[in-house]
Amino acid sequence: MDSIPGRRRITAAAIALLALPALLVTACGNSDNGGAQANTTTAAVSTPTEQNPPQPGRMFTANSTITNPHPLPFDSWSRVAPDRIAVNFQIGSPECYGVDASTTETDTTVTVALKAGTLPEAAGRMCTMIAVFGTLEIPLKKPLDDRKVLSAN
């Protein structure tokens, strides 16, 4: 009653089960040669749309004390005065979140790096999840004239 073909099938199945983890580990390997890898992430600079006439959202004041700051892109901007622009963005509840900005001015461009973060007084507090259209006015060192406005985020 001892069947040789039956034993072969059981042995083959056992070998397959034992070999399967080795095959899976090999398949999950990578081809990393341990050498330095080039970082392909670059800061994205975009060209937001100029709004004329301006359509401001809720006015924000720059706040350098925000915590956990992170880049916040803006989609549009408007001229407020020859040496002042306003950028428009979306953000969470103004009771919890604030913004800050820095500018880099050249003869041809004004690049705005807008950052959003938690207000210090809201740290550890529950905040409602709402989206608000916000506006921040930004003073320039010299008149905008025909310079291009860019978002550094």
For residue 121, is pLDDT > 90? yes
Q: Are strands 67-71 and 109-118 parallel, antiparallel or unpaired?
A: antiparallel
- Note the pTM of the prediction, 2 decimals: 0.70
User: pLDDT tens, 34-72?
Assistant: 444 444 444 678 999 999 988 999 999 999 999 999 999
Choose between 22 and 141: higher pLDDT.
141
For residue 15, is pLDDT > 90? no
User: pLDDT tens, 94-103?
Assistant: 999 999 999 9
The rounded mean pLDDT for the chain is: 82
- What pLDDT does 119 receive? 98
For residue 87, is pLDDT > 70? yes
- What pLDDT does 40 receive? 40
